[in-house]
Amino acid sequence: MYILGISAFYHDSAACLIDDGEIIAAAQEERFTRIKYDANFPVNAITYCLDEVNLKPDKIDYIVFYDKPFLKFERLLETYLAFAPRGFKNFVTSVPVWVKEKLFQKSLIIKILRDLWGKEIDWTERLIFSEHHLSHAASAFFPSPFNEAAVLTMDGVGEWSTTSLAIGHGNELSVHKEINFPHSLGLLYSAFTYYVGFKVNSGEYKLMGLAPYGEPKYSNLIKENLIDIKEDGSFALDLNFFNYCTGLTMTNEKFNTLFGDVPRNPETEISQRDMDIAASIQKVTEEVLIKLVKGIAKTSGQKNLCLAGGVALNCVANGKLLREEIFEDIWVQPASGDAGGALGAALGAYHIMLNKKRKPSDKIDNMKGSFLGPVYSDLKINETLEGCGAVFSNHSQDQIIELTAKDLADGKAVGWFSGRMEFGPRALGNRSILADPRSDSMQKLLNLKVKNRESFRPFAPS
């Protein structure tokens, strides 16, 4: 049985193909279009997934979309009604867009599929929709090596949920507790992303990378004014400081007054104050996460924990959580953001909706180490290099390793391209930039000359 999972229309569009519960292929659309965080329908990613096993579209049993557009529309509508008349002008201009994107999304998807594969196949009965946080939770639990686990999903917002706890057992996954919009740790982090001058939904990792350069001078100010953190880690935001419910910005004048200035203009230089603010919200995020997980361990009785959702991409917080040793084992979905929702939607349909048993794990994971993308033959690589006029030479595997080691020792950066492409935002060793971490200047060199990005941005071992 073939099931195709899809995430699209927000950010990080992706596709995943499973066959009788086995993950065959998965990829983000941005890897093919080279448009960062590409939100368009993942035509290229879908085509790759089917080509991986020479699958004809009519052999797909189900196509599963990663969230429920009707419920999102309900949230958008109820939010504006709850805050009326605030934000009325924005509400009036947004409604036509919402109606097109949310109410008629099923028709839109079917139209795209017909344009892609012809009108012979009736997708009406084969197209189903999963809930956003269930897709995330399924992406974390079902590929994990655990037969039982607590599953924590945290992000900006799905349909309504912003934080959810599920318990997984075998092929079953049930949600036990939720925190709903507008109270969201992910949106709180995004508010500070916006305030420090980065782009929401793509700049959060920049804020995390900036945090080590600052001191958490504002962490108490945040906890005293913006977020009420309970002992079990549950929380509530003071919405008087935010604008995301009714406006087009994350923060408002009251937020600006609290921190003594307007949001940083992205064109201006980053100050020490910006670094301190980044350090402060990072510290608060870690505190909430650790308290939540301690509460989950206490009430769930589980020994294993799985993490998913955009907040689970905060690897600094994950590292501190791991060192707390609250659970015996922790497994984090490598594609924790919305791209992973495509994988979770497919797996959730197979195991939960169809009640199919899970296959035994290899004790590491059931997703091939996240190497689920395309692989290219030497012939294809040579043709591509020749086509773009590159100067290159071919070597044996041993020679490549020897030459790479020499270049690294000489202070050079090496582009490493090997095997199947990673699924998710992290470079895990198959599509990576290699460099010598012993060099004091290497981080700045890579950021400014190779990746053309801010000098403070971090790197990680893969």
| Cβ-based neighbour number of residue 136 at 10 Å | 38
Position 134: which residue type?
Answer: L
Position with higher pLDDT, 74 vs 42: 42
Asked if the model's pLDDT at residue 166 lies above 80, the reply is yes
| Per-residue confidence (pLDDT) for residue 364, from 0 to 100 | 86
Could you report the per-residue pLDDT of 354-406, keeping only the tens digit for each? 999 998 777 789 999 999 999 999 999 999 999 999 999 999 999 999 999 99
Domain ranges of the chain: 2-143+336-370, 185-331, 378-418+427-450
Asked if the model's pLDDT at residue 86 lies above 90, the reply is no
Q: What is the DSSP string of 134-178?
A: HHHHHHHHTTSS-SEEEEEEE-S-SSSEEEEEEEEETTEEEEEEE
Position with higher pLDDT, 213 vs 446: 213
Asked if the model's pLDDT at residue 447 lies above 90, the reply is no
| Per-residue confidence (pLDDT) for residue 194, from 0 to 100 | 98
Domains 2-143+336-370 and 185-331 in one fold: yes
| Per-residue confidence (pLDDT) for residue 19, from 0 to 100 | 98
Could you report the per-residue pLDDT of 268-322, keeping only the tens digit for each? 999 999 999 999 999 999 999 999 999 999 999 999 999 999 999 999 999 999 9
Query: Cis before residue 360, ω within 30 degrees of 0?
Result: no
Could you report the per-residue pLDDT of 183-223, keeping only the tens digit for each? 999 999 999 999 999 999 999 999 999 999 999 999 999 99
Q: Which CATH number fits domain 185-331: 3.30.420.40, 3.60.110.10, 3.90.870.10, 3.40.50.170?
A: 3.30.420.40
Q: What is the layout of strands, in order, in the sheet containing 2-7?
A: 22-28, 14-19, 2-7, 60-65, 127-129
Split at pLDDT 50, 70, 90, the class of 461 is low
| Per-residue confidence (pLDDT) for residue 330, from 0 to 100 | 98
Asked if the model's pLDDT at residue 455 lies above 80, the reply is no
Residue 119: φ, ψ to 5°: -95, 5
Helices (H) and strands (E) in the chain, counts: 16, 14
Tokens (6 digits) for 324: 């707390």
Cβ proximity of 117 and 57 under 8 Å? yes
User: What average pLDDT does the segment 144-157 reach?
Assistant: 98
2-143+336-370 sits in which CATH class? alpha beta
pLDDT > 90: what percent of the chain? 84
The whole-angstrom separation of Cα 255 and Cα 241 is: 5
| Per-residue confidence (pLDDT) for residue 210, from 0 to 100 | 96
The torsion defined by the Cα of 434, 435, 437 and 439, in degrees rounded to 10, comes to -170
pLDDT > 70: what percent of the chain? 100
Among 129-143, 192-206, 367-381, 447-461, which stretch is predicted with the lowest mean pLDDT?
A: 447-461
Tokens (6 digits) for 424: 């998710």
The whole-angstrom separation of Cα 283 and Cα 391 is: 48
Tokens (6 digits) for 335: 């594609």
The whole-angstrom separation of Cα 270 and Cα 213 is: 11
Give the 3-state DSSP-derived string for 295-351, with helices as H, strands as E and coil as C: HHHHHHCCCEEEEECHHHHCHHHHHHHHHHCCCCEEEECCCCCHHHHHHHHHHHHHH
Position 269: which residue type?
Answer: E
The whole-angstrom separation of Cα 309 and Cα 28 is: 16
| Per-residue confidence (pLDDT) for residue 99, from 0 to 100 | 76
Asked if the model's pLDDT at residue 462 lies above 70, the reply is no
- The 3-state DSSP class for residue 366 equals coil
| Per-residue confidence (pLDDT) for residue 82, from 0 to 100 | 86
Kindly report the pTM of this predicted structure: 0.94
Asked if the model's pLDDT at residue 106 lies above 60, the reply is yes
Beta strands in 20-147 (DSSP E): 22-28, 60-65, 127-129
Asked if the model's pLDDT at residue 164 lies above 80, the reply is yes
Asked if the model's pLDDT at residue 130 lies above 70, the reply is yes
The whole-angstrom separation of Cα 31 and Cα 59 is: 25
User: What average pLDDT does the segment 226-243 reach?
Assistant: 97
Asked if the model's pLDDT at residue 325 lies above 90, the reply is yes
DSSP classification of residue 240: G
CA-based angle 127:128:133, to the nearest 5?
A: 140
- The 3-state DSSP class for residue 237 equals strand
